[in-house]
């Protein structure tokens, strides 16, 4: 694991362009298994989670080549049905392959997924939904064995609008016989991007972005070309970098309405923010006003994936804020690291109480997960003095060229491998 050394207290300026969305690319890559033709995925970021997903596709028999930000995937011989532990445990989203492998081959064997330390990462909703589509599923010795001669459409009610479970059902149902209705479906923009790719492959998916998605199964799908939507979480993270350092920056290549909940809070905190068609300009004051309360919610509510980053912004705001994490059980592991930098954060159940302090101080801290790593960078940018962040490799799961882009904006960051 490598480290980052950040000299804080510098203002940022300039513009940054945001890469394709990690959380859209991963299910779209799984969707390429639903055809034996060639698919082309553009605006595909070069992230460790994407590289791990490509490893899984290749292990299953696919041929994948990359030219810049474009991937070409040939799944003609991708008839593998088993994903080994070594690949499954590298990231949570590997579970998304279950539906696609099952739909293509009639059977799938995977181990319980790995992922960030965000608390228990159950997949009960995935399993229940696939069973309702006719799969028989056995779990033993840490493996999940699924089989189904032919999946059959059904009405699937998700007791929680799980992003991954919604995606798994969309993938499996696309080759099932008959119609599937997903009720209480996740509404994240990444779901819409997956639906767009599936329909371009010849699937029949409607209602993506609403809480009811209908899929009429097809016998086969063809390859297609798709350009991945921009990463709204990365966009919001750059805005947090500006907010925490009293900076003015332009964030390009994004869809502003997809981060409206985060933008609205930053405006309430005193930032001047102008949204254009594909960009957001932010000018932050030296001292921010603490919002009383922030609660993470499923889309279009405040995204859990920017909760960690906002904690670092709140740490120096004037006043006290309560931020409540309603999506994951434990997504506050980095608060103890922020407190080492002088923050005043106390945890109470699913909430963190942040009493703003006049300054943060550089310290030696450690990252524990992807967004926690980004959060520590944001705190280090605004801190007095030098911060060393250990285990920064987590950042590579979801941010491409983050250090280079921040240095181009005026930051002073070094990476020690
Ligand atoms: C996706 O994870 C994202 N990952 C996460 O982003 C994101 O935080 C999350 O959706 C919520 O928006 C990818 O898309 C690769 P969920 P996912 O299923 O699908 C519980 C990041 O930082 N749950 O919506 O795993 C679960 O434990 C990552 O980019 C069950 O109980 O999220 C969690 O508490 C982190 N049973 C909640 O639902 C299940 O079967 C939300 O999970 C599935 C989920």
Q: Which of 375, 349, 110, 365 is CA-nearest to residue 243?
A: 375
Q: What pLDDT is attached to residue 92?
A: 65
Output the residue whose Cα is nearest ligand 1's atom 11.
163
pLDDT mean over 327-347: 95
Contact 59, 97 (CB under 8 A): no
Q: How confident is the model at residue 162 (pLDDT cuts 50, 70, 90)?
A: very high
**Residue 271 annotated as catalytic:** no
- What's the pLDDT score for residue 78? 97
Burial class of residue 138 (count of CB atoms within 10 Å of its CB; 0-12, 13-18, 19+): exposed
* pLDDT tens digit sequence for 175-202: 999 999 999 999 999 999 999 999 999 9
pLDDT digits (tens, 9 = 90+) for 251-263: 999 999 999 999 9
pLDDT number for residue 118: 58
pLDDT at residue 317 tops 80: yes
At 26-58, the pLDDT tens digits run 999 999 999 999 999 999 999 999 999 999 999
pLDDT at 115 over 50: no
Q: List b or e across 76-110, with b for residues whose CB sees 16 or more CB atoms inside 10 angstroms.
A: eebebbebeeebbbbbbbbbbbbbbbbbbbebbbb
- Kindly report the protein residue whose alpha carbon is nearest to atom 10 of ligand 1: 163
Q: Higher pLDDT residue, 95 or 112?
A: 95
User: Which pLDDT does position 139 carry in this prediction?
Assistant: 83
Annotated catalytic residue, options 44, 116, 146, 271: 116
- Give the model's pLDDT for residue 142: 78
Q: 61-89: per-residue pLDDT in tens?
A: 999 999 999 999 999 999 999 998 888 87
pLDDT for the residue numbered 163? 97
Answer whether 275's CB lies under 8 Å from 256's CB: yes
Whether residue 297 is predicted with pLDDT greater than 90 in this model: the reply is: yes
Average pLDDT of the segment spanning 11-37:
98
Tokens, residue 301 = 């509510």
- Give the residue, out of 88, 163, 235, 374, with the most ligand 1 atoms within 8 A of its beta carbon, to mutate for a pocket test: 163
Check residue 117 and give its pLDDT: 54
Best of 23, 27, 125 to mutate for ligand 1, by most ligand atoms within 8 A of CB? Answer: 23
Q: How confident is the model at residue 140 (pLDDT cuts 50, 70, 90)?
A: confident
Q: What is the mean pLDDT of residues 96-118?
A: 82
Q: Which two tokens stand for residue 338?
A: 């922020």
Helix (H, G, I), strand (E, B) or coil at 416: strand
What per-residue confidence (pLDDT) applies to 95?
87
% of the chain residues with pLDDT over 70: 97
Which pair of structure tokens corresponds to residue 287?
A: 């001292």
Which residues does a 6 A CB cutoff place in the pocket of ligand 1? 22-23, 26, 92-93, 116, 121-126, 160, 162-165, 304-305, 327-328, 370-371, 398
Residue 51 CA, chain-centre distance (Å), reads 15
pLDDT per residue over 197-225, tens digit each?
Answer: 999 999 999 999 999 999 999 999 999 99
Say if residue 121's pLDDT is above 80: no
> Can you tell me the mean pLDDT for 293-310?
98
User: What gap in Å lies between CA 169 and CA 132, rounded to an integer?
Assistant: 10
- Hey, which bits of 130-221 come out as E strands? 136-140, 143-147, 155-157, 179-183, 204-206, 212-216
119-133, 144-158, 192-206: range with lowest mean pLDDT: 119-133
* Mean pLDDT in residue range 93-103: 91
Predicted TM-score (pTM) of the model is 0.97
Query: What is the best residue among 327, 374, 394, 398 to mutate for testing ligand 1's pocket, by most ligand atoms within 8 Å of CB?
Result: 327
**Domains in the chain, start-ordered, CATH in brackets?**
3-19+230-416 (3.65.10.10), 22-227 (3.65.10.10)
In this structure, the residue with its CA closest to atom 4 of ligand 1 is 23
In this prediction, residues 348-369 reach a mean pLDDT of: 97
CA–CA separation, 209 vs 156, rounded Å? 16
398 CA closest ligand 1 atom index: 29
Q: How many A from CA of 196 to the centre of ligand 1?
A: 21
| 3-class state of residue 239 by DSSP | helix
Could you identify the atom of ligand 1 that is nearest to the CA of residue 23? 14
Whole-number Å distance, alpha carbon 115 to ligand 1 midpoint, is: 10
CA of 14 to the centre of ligand 1 (A): 33
């Amino acid at each position: 694991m490598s480290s980052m050394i950040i000299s804080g207290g510098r203002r940022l300026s300039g513009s940054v362009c945001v890469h394709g969305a990690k959380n859209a690319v991963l299910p779209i890559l799984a969707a390429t298994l639903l055809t034996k033709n060639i698919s082309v995925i553009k605006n595909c970021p070069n992230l460790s989670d994407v590289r791990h997903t490509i490893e899984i596709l290749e292990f299953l028999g696919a041929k994948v080549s990359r030219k810049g930000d474009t991937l070409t995937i040939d799944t003609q011989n991708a008839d593998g049905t088993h994903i080994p532990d070594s690949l499954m445990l590298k990231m949570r989203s590997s579970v998304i392959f279950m539906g696609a492998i099952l739909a293509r081959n009639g059977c799938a064997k995977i181990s319980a997924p790995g992922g960030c330390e965000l608390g228990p990462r159950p997949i009960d909703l995935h399993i229940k939904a696939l069973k309702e589509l006719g799969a028989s599923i056995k779990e033993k010795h840490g493996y999940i064995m699924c089989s189904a001669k032919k999946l059959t459409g059904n009405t699937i009610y998700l007791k929680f609008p799980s992003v991954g479970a919604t995606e798994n059902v969309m993938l499996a149902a696309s080759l099932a016989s008959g119609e599937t209705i997903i009720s209480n479906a996740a509404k994240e923009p990444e779901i819409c991007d997956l639906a767009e790719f599936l329909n371009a492959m010849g699937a029949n998916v409607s209602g993506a972005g609403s809480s009811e998605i209908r899929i009429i199964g097809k016998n086969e799908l063809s390859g297609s070309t798709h350009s991945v939507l921009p990463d709204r979480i990365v966009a919001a993270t750059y805005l947090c970098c500006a907010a925490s350092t009293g900076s003015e920056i332009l964030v390009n290549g994004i869809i502003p309405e997809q981060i409206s909940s985060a933008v609205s809070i930053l405006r309430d905190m005193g930032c001047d923010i102008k949204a254009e068609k594909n960009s957001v300009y932010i000018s932050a004051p030296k001292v921010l006003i603490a919002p009383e309360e922030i609660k993470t919610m499923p889309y279009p509510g405040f995204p859990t994936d920017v909760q960690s980053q906002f904690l670092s912004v709140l740490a120096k705001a004037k006043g006290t804020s309560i931020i409540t994490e309603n999506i994951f059980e434990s997504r506050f592991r980095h608060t103890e690291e922020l407190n080492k930098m002088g923050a005043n954060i106390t945890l109470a159940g699913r909430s963190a109480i942040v009493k703003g302090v006049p300054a943060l101080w550089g310290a030696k801290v450690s990252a524990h997960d992807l967004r926690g790593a980004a959060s520590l960078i944001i705190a280090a940018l605004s801190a007095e003095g030098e911060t060393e962040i250990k285990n920064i490799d987590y950042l590579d799961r979801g941010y491409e060229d983050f250090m280079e882009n921040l240095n181009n904006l005026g930051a002073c960051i070094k990476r020690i491998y």
